[in-house]
Copies of this chain bind each other. A is one copy, B any other.
Amino acid sequence: MADTDLVVPAGWEPGKGTSASMSKQFTFDRYGITRKFLDHVAELSEQDGYHPNISFGTTYVNITIDARDGEQLGEGDKAFALEVDRLADATTG
A residues near B (Cβ < 8 Å) are 31, 35, 42, 45-46, 51-58
Which residues on B sit within 8 Å (CB–CB) of A58?
51
User: What are 12 A-B contacts defined by CB distance under 8 Å?
Assistant: A31-B45, A31-B46, A31-B51, A35-B42, A51-B57, A51-B58, A53-B55, A53-B56, A53-B57, A54-B56, A54-B57, A55-B56
A63 to chain B, nearest CB (A): 11
Chain B residues, CB < 8 A from A56 = 53-55
What 6 A-B pairs come out closest when comparing CB atoms? A55-B55, A51-B58, A53-B57, A54-B56, A31-B51, A51-B57
Residue of B nearest to A50 (CB): B58
Residues of B within 8 A of A45 (CB): 31
Q: Are B51 and A54 touching (Cβ within 8 A)? A: no
Contacts of A52 in B (CB 8 A): 57
